[in-house]
C-alpha cells in the first residue's frame, strides 16, 4: 500500500496550488434544471469512484443490507460506513461489513461478526467546459477481518488507486457520462476465503465507462467494466462486465435527509470462468447533511 499511497499524496500535492473554495454546485439559483444536483448524487448511486463536489463539511452515512439466498436463509450481510468532505476538494470514507450466518456444519448454529473494513481518500476538482465536468484521483484500501464464511470474502487485501472523469453529455435530458481507470493490487491476508465467479486472482488494471440519466421517477445507468492482468501479473487474463441498473427513490418526500433507494439490475460477465448472467436487487439507506 505504501507505494500507491505515496503516489496519491504526490498527485494531491501537485494539485494543491489550485485548491480553492468552490461554489456549491447544488445551488438551485445556479442550477435551475437540476443537472448539477443530479451529477453530485451519482457517487451515492453508481459505484465508480465518481467526483463528489459538495462543499466542505458535507457528510453522509449509508447502510446496505444483503440477503444471501433468501429461500435458504444462508446469511444476512450489512455493509455500513460514511463519507466526510474535509474541504471543498478532499473527502474521506470508511466502512465495515458485518454478517449473521447460519452454520450448517455446526447444527445450524448462528454466527455473527465483522467480515472486513475499507478506507479511502479522494481529491475531486471541477473542470470546464462544459459546466459540471469533474475529475477525481483517489485511493481505496480494503481488508478481510475475523473469521467470516469463506463465500463472503476472497481473503486478500486490496489497494486500489484510480482516476475518474465525469461530464454531462446532453444536459437537456440529464444524460451524464463517466469513466474510471485504476489498479487492483492484492496482498494475501491470514483470513481464509474464496474468489467469486469471473474475478481475477492477481494484480490487475481496472477500467469502466458508462452513462447515467435521470427520469422523473428513477435514475438509470449502463456501465461497461473490465479488468486485465496482462501488464501487471504473470499470465494475462481479462474479465468484462456489462451492467444496466435502475435506482428508485423510496420515501423521499417523507424523509428529507434520509434517502432510501431501491436498486434493480442485471449483469452479464465474460471472463476466465466463462459467460455468466445474473440479476440483483438491493436496498441502500443514506443520511446526508450539507452545511
Whether 252 shows a pLDDT value over 70: the answer reads no
What nine digits make up the cell of 209? 465507462
Q: Binning pLDDT at 50, 70 and 90, where does residue 17 land?
A: very low
Q: Does residue 11 surpass a pLDDT of 50?
A: no
Apex 95 CA angle, 94 and 96, nearest 5: 145
- Asked if omega into 130 is within 30° of 0 (cis), the reply is yes
- Is the model's pLDDT at 12 over the cut of 50? no
**Long-range residue pairs from 109-115, CB within 8 A, at least 24 positions apart, any chain:** 111/149, 113/146, 113/147, 113/148, 114/145, 114/146, 114/148, 115/77, 115/144, 115/145, 115/146, 115/148, 115/149, 115/152, 115/153
pTM: 0.83
* Residue 221 CA, distance from chain mean position: 14
What are the extents of the domains in the chain? 2-289
pLDDT tens per residue across span 200-229 = 999 999 999 999 999 989 999 999 999 999
- Model confidence pLDDT, tens digit, residues 71-124: 445 678 899 999 999 999 999 999 999 998 876 665 666 788 999 999 999 999
Render pLDDT for 268-289 as a digit per residue (tens, 0 to 9): 999 999 999 999 888 898 888 8
The dihedrals phi and psi of 13, each to the nearest 5 degrees, come to -65, -40
Mean pLDDT of the chain: 84
Q: Which of 163, 248, 171, 266 is nearest to 209 (CA)?
A: 163
**CA separation for the pair 98, 213 (Å, rounded):** 32
The alpha helices in the chain, defined as continuous H runs, are 2-15, 35-45
pLDDT tens column, 132-183:
899 999 999 999 998 888 878 999 999 999 999 999 999 999 999 999 999 9
pLDDT for residue 152 = 83
Burial class (CB in 10 A: 0-12, 13-18, 19+), 110: exposed
Contact 263, 281 (CB under 8 A): yes
Homologous superfamily of 2-289: monomeric porin ompg (2.40.160.40)
Report the percentage of the chain scoring pLDDT > 70: 83
Residue 134: predicted pLDDT: 95
CA distance 141 to 220: 28
Are 14 and 87 within 8 A, CB to CB? no
pLDDT of residue 291: 76
- Report pLDDT for 209: 97
Query: What average pLDDT does the segment 43-64 reach?
Result: 89
Q: pLDDT tens digit string along 223-251?
A: 999 999 998 988 789 999 999 999 998 87
Amino acid at each position: 500500500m505504501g507505494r500507491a499511497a505515496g503516489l496519491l499524496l504526490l498527485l494531491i500535492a501537485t494539485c494543491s496550488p489550485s485548491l480553492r473554495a468552490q461554489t456549491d454546485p447544488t445551488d438551485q439559483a445556479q442550477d435551475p434544471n437540476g443537472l448539477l444536483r443530479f451529477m453530485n448524487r451519482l457517487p451515492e448511486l453508481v459505484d465508480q469512484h465518481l467526483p463528489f463536489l459538495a462543499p466542505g463539511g458535507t457528510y453522509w452515512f449509508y447502510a446496505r443490507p444483503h440477503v444471501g439466498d433468501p429461500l435458504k436463509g444462508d446469511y444476512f450481510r450489512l455493509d455500513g460506513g460514511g463519507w466526510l468532505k474535509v474541504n471543498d476538494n478532499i473527502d474521506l470514507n470508511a466502512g465495515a461489513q458485518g454478517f449473521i450466518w447460519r452454520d450448517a456444519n455446526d447444527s445450524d448454529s448462528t454466527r455473527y461478526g465483522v467480515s472486513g473494513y475499507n478506507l479511502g481518500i479522494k481529491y475531486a476538482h471541477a473542470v470546464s467546459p462544459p459546466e459540471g465536468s469533474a475529475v477525481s484521483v483517489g485511493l481505496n484500501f480494503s481488508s478481510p477481518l475475523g473469521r467470516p464464511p469463506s463465500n463472503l470474502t476472497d481473503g486478500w487485501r486490496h489497494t486500489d488507486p484510480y482516476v475518474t472523469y465525469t461530464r454531462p453529455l446532453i444536459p437537456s435530458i440529464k444524460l451524464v457520462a463517466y469513466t474510471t481507470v485504476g489498479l487492483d493490487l492484492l496482498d494475501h491476508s491470514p483470513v481464509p476465503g474464496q474468489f467469486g465467479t469471473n474475478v481475477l486472482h492477481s494484480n490487475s488494471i481496472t477500467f469502466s465507462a458508462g452513462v447515467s440519466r435521470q427520469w422523473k421517477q428513477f435514475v438509470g445507468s449502463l456501465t461497461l467494466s473490465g479488468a486485465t492482468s496482462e501488464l501487471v501479473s504473470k499470465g494475462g487474463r481479462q474479465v468484462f462486465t456489462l451492467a444496466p441498473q435502475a435506482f428508485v427513490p423510496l420515501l423521499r418526500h417523507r424523509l428529507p435527509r434520509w434517502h432510501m433507494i431501491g436498486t434493480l439490475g442485471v449483469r452479464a460477465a465474460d471472463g476466465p470462468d466463462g459467460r455468466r448472467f445474473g440479476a440483483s436487487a438491493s436496498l441502500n439507506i443514506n443520511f446526508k447533511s450539507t452545511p
